[in-house]
Amino acid sequence: MPKPKVAIYGMTTEGYLLATRIIEKASVTIIDDTLQMAMELDQQSVKSHKDLYALVGEESLMGLKPISQVLAESAVVFFTPKLRRGIDEAVIEASTKLREIAKYVSKGVLVVNTLPTGIGGNADNISLLEKQTGLIVGDSLNYAYCPLLPRSGDPKFLSLVSNSAHNMLDEIGLKVTATKLAKSELRYVSQVLEKTMKITTRVELMRRAREQKVNDKLENDEDYIDELTSHLYDLTAIQSSEDVGEPITYMASAAIKSLENHVRYVVDQTRELLRELQLKASRTKVVVAWTIDKYEMKADRLQTAVGMVERMRDYVTDVEHAQSSTFGQSAQVLNPYKHNIVIACSAADYEWVKGLRKTNRGVETSILKATPSLETE
């Protein structure tokens, strides 16, 4: 029996990881929505390339096909787009890319949205698909919601509009976890708000502690800015899906604002460190150590890192964004002729930076951990 044809719309980490889960049971084609080309995947290639970096870097393009043909022939289309616009425009960008899919999907296809939405966000997607295709979701067109966590291909929530598409998911090894879209929406929104509100509370309380010169460090202070920024798009989607004045809107807005504040707090603490150590700006290098997956669906981390570097350059000319995947352990990230202030933006980057300092013992280096307490070493 031939395998069902599946299209992954979006050359993203999440899309590729999802493809690795279903490649044994489906004929998978991944679509680069930026370059507008489609590439067939095979089991051997996927098994020998653990991530998209390895696949793109080492493989020649395999089985290229027109996007229109791939979408028209697919029984299941996973929506895993690569979003690169600003935070305020990302939700609109997602709708635009979903509209591109609607141009080519045929009757009976199952469209699976893996991009997180706010409450009621899937109703907007369904309305868009019906308007563009002329088909009716639940009758001549199928729709599922399967929000993926950042850099993950493991669906924790999966719901369908119509039970008639259950067999499509069963064939490729995915299981429905909720009978209604609203249930998955509420569960995911709850997860995002609980996680981000916990971090943002710590960010704001530790800011007050620094202002009042209270020497207090949080236990298990490992919530780096990398973790908070991973849900910026999600928070924006939640905010835009609710009426102004609703408590959920306030919570999402507060988390977004706290992230903006956190970047400012990191910059302010770096300036404070310059004063404490009596460093001249011209004799100082600031390194924003933040390893970012360029194939991640959402550009939250990348845009935050760029914004942080720009803010730093208002005070120090020599500012660099460094990534362990680019520079490696023995790279010349640290300037031996200057005092280096390295801002570690994730737990992995903190370990990398400690290794750099160890291999460059003669170089003056201070490490600022971009956690709520902004501890310096």
pLDDT over 60 at 113, yes or no: yes
Task: Report pLDDT for 287.
Answer: 97
Pick from 261, 282, 271: which is nearest to 339 by CA? 282
Instruction: Find out whether 261 and 227 touch, Cβ atoms under 8 Å.
Output: no
Residue 155: which domain range?
A: 5-179
- CATH number of domain containing 322: 3.40.50.1400
Identify any residues that bridge with 30 across adjacent strands, giving them in sequence order: 8, 39
The single residue listed with the structure tokens 């980057």 is 349
Q: Does position 158 have pLDDT exceeding 90, yes or no?
A: yes
Quick one: 175 and 191 in the same domain? no
In this predicted model, which residue has the larger pLDDT, 114 or 243?
A: 114
Statement to judge: residues 71 and 207 lie in one domain? no
> How confident is the model over 313-336, as pLDDT tens digits?
999 999 999 998 765 554 589 999
Q: Do residue 175 and residue 199 come from a single domain?
A: no
Task: State which of 126, 145, 179 marks the end of a domain.
Answer: 179
Same domain? For 116 and 260 the reply is no
88 burial class (0-12, 13-18, 19+ CB within 10 angstroms)?
A: exposed
Task: Tell whether 232 and 96 lie within a shared domain.
Answer: no
Please report whether residue 376 resides in a domain.
Answer: no
Q: 272 and 306 share a domain? A: yes
Query: Would you state the pLDDT for residue 61?
Result: 57
Residues 175 and 35 in one domain: yes
Average confidence score pLDDT of the chain: 90
Number of domains in the chain: 2
- Domain termination residue (choose one: 117, 151, 179): 179
- In angstroms, the CA 368 to CA 289 distance is 10
Distance between CA atoms of residues 33 and 292, nearest Å: 20
What pLDDT is recorded for position 125?
A: 95
Residue 375 domain-assigned? no
pLDDT in tens, 220-238: 667 899 998 999 999 999 9
Residue of higher predicted confidence among 9 and 45: 9
Q: Sheet of 365-369: strands edge to edge?
A: 319-322, 284-289, 339-344, 365-369
Q: Can you spell out the DSSP letters for 330-373? A: T---S-TTSEEEEEE-SHHHHHHHHHHHHHTTTS-EEEEE-STT
Phi, psi of 363 (to 5 degrees): -100, 130
Same-domain check for residues 139 and 238? no
Residues 33, 175, single domain; the answer is yes
- Cα 199 from Cα 258, distance rounded (Å): 9
Which pairing describes strands 142-145 and 159-160: parallel, antiparallel, or unpaired? antiparallel
Structure tokens at 48: 């020998």
Query: Which residue's entry shows tokens 């199952």?
Result: 110
Q: Which residue has the higher pLDDT, 218 or 237?
A: 237
User: Do both 70 and 45 map to the same domain?
Assistant: yes
Q: Which of 160, 179, 198 is the last residue of a domain?
A: 179
Q: List, for residues 268-294, the tens digit of each pLDDT value.
A: 999 999 999 999 999 999 999 999 999
Note whether 66 and 38 are within 8 A (CB): yes
Supply the DSSP symbol for 297. Answer: S
